Amino acid sequence: MNPSSIPALEAPEALPFDLMQVPGLGHLFRWRHARPLLQAPLLIVSVVMILHGLFGPTLAPKNLATTLSWLHFRGVLVLVLLAAGNFFCLACPFMLVRQAARRFFTPRFDWPRALRNKWLSLALFILILFLYELFDLWSSPWWTAWLILAYFLTVLVVDGFFKHASFCKFVCPIGQFNFVASTLSPLEVKVRDQAVCTSCHTLDCIRGRREPVSDLVTIRGCELALFQPRKVGNMDCTFCLDCVHACPHDNVGILSRMPGEELLTDPLRSGLGYFSRRKDLAALAIVFTFGALLNAFGMVSPVYAVESWLGKILHVSHEAPVLGIIFAFFLILEPVLLLGLAAWLTRVWAGSRRALLPLMVRYTYGLVPMGFGMWLAHYGFHFLTGLYTFIPVTQSALASLGWPVLGEPRWTLTGLPANIVLMIEIGLLLLGFAGSLTVTYGLAEEDSPRQPMRVFIPWATIGLILFVASMWLLFQPMEMRATLMSG
């Protein structure tokens, strides 16, 4: 027999990595009490931060509220999002308090239909960025403690009155940040085998597991209205694993995937609809991306020259109106001009038949990787240069209580050298820029397979502008906020 006539056997498709199959981790995540176990330590830390912020030292570098919030939490958050996924929302301490409160108060209302979008949470996201600069939150343990307290109180009020996970889906600014960033994470809560879901008639992952006779829910399904068989990507997913616990077929895992792949396609998504039709999601992506540069601009020296110049023009001495103009420029005027010009060029040069606004919405998601690269570089800078600062602050806090069990505070402990951190920052920015080019080209190739470059170039140019601006920011003298190296 001629060997060439024998049909070649197709190699079996490689199965994605499943974190649930890792010994130890799989058992932990399948355990119904895994989430409270992860939330409890963060709740304890949160309470300590609040108490230390209200009653501890007023100097930010010596207070746990400011040191842990503005150096360590933000740095760990973005690095975990990059390396794994939205595991902070899984371990969110606010939800542990909410669950405890729901033992005594049952929410009775549905979230208002007019607010079932991202506009409210987007406004709160911008508000926090604004207040962070206006009140110098990184330098105020007292204000930082009250911000954490306000978060707990808002969770209790919102989810005390409204059913499901209304706070997470429609209100929480941190959650929205995590949702957008997690589109670039390598892991996703996802069904293993669609055929198993096709043959399932109980739909426990969304409805919850129920008693056969009383129809009482014993294990709840997804509170964020993400039906697993039709769920696409990480947007709106808190990694709560309720679907894992509810699925009677053990068909939901934490699977590996290509980071950013959900930004390349536009299918009908459970709980979200079409990305290309969600102006609120596009606006969230814009604030996420341009807000990364705005937040970094607030910590470099040229911002003071800009504020002084604007103050003289406006004849005002208060910072609020000046900051308002800077925010309007970064988050409204600049994005509208850049995205509008790119959309117009796409219509003229590439002959696209889409209207300007749908084009802007469609390609905004291609900028998300660049924005995430800047958040990583910025928060990574503070985290890595202040990596060990929690040690002397903890030593000092215990000593002030009369428990000097960790010895005298070693205030010389800081973090990695700035020159090493700079190299890491540049690498993260390059990673973000490459991601934006990849997503943008994928979108252009899908929209215009015959001449994708004509669509790609205008949007890639915006990515290049953001990359150059980000690099310029990195090489500016930066404030070492919430550390003893502060300027």
CB atoms under 10 Å from CB of 12, counted, come to: 6
Calculate the alpha carbon distances from 340 to 64, 182, 191, 358, 431 in Å.
Answer: 44, 26, 38, 11, 26
Phi then psi for residue 382, to 5 deg, are: -65, -40
Amino acid at 120: L
- Positions of the chain with pLDDT lower than 70, given as ranges: 1-13, 213-215, 479-487
pLDDT of res. 10: 52
pLDDT of res. 1: 45
**DSSP SS3 for 358:** helix
List the chain domain ranges. 189-263, 274-478
Number of H helices, E strands in the chain: 22, 4
Dihedral sign (CA 252, 258, 260, 262): negative
Residue pair 330/290 in contact by the 8 Å Cβ criterion:
yes
In sequence order, what DSSP letters do the residues of 94-144 get, joined into one string? HHHHHHHHTTT----BPPPGGG-SSHHHHHHHHHHHHHHHHTTGGG-HHHH
Calculate the alpha carbon distances from 56 to 24, 145, 319, 409 in Å.
Answer: 39, 11, 28, 15
pLDDT of res. 482: 54
Calculate the alpha carbon distances from 272 to 116, 236, 256, 382 in Å.
Answer: 10, 8, 22, 34
pLDDT of res. 406: 84
User: Which pair of structure tokens corresponds to residue 247?
Assistant: 């699925």
Calculate the alpha carbon distances from 321 to 295, 311, 317, 377 in Å.
Answer: 17, 9, 9, 28
User: Which pair of structure tokens corresponds to residue 351?
Assistant: 């002959």
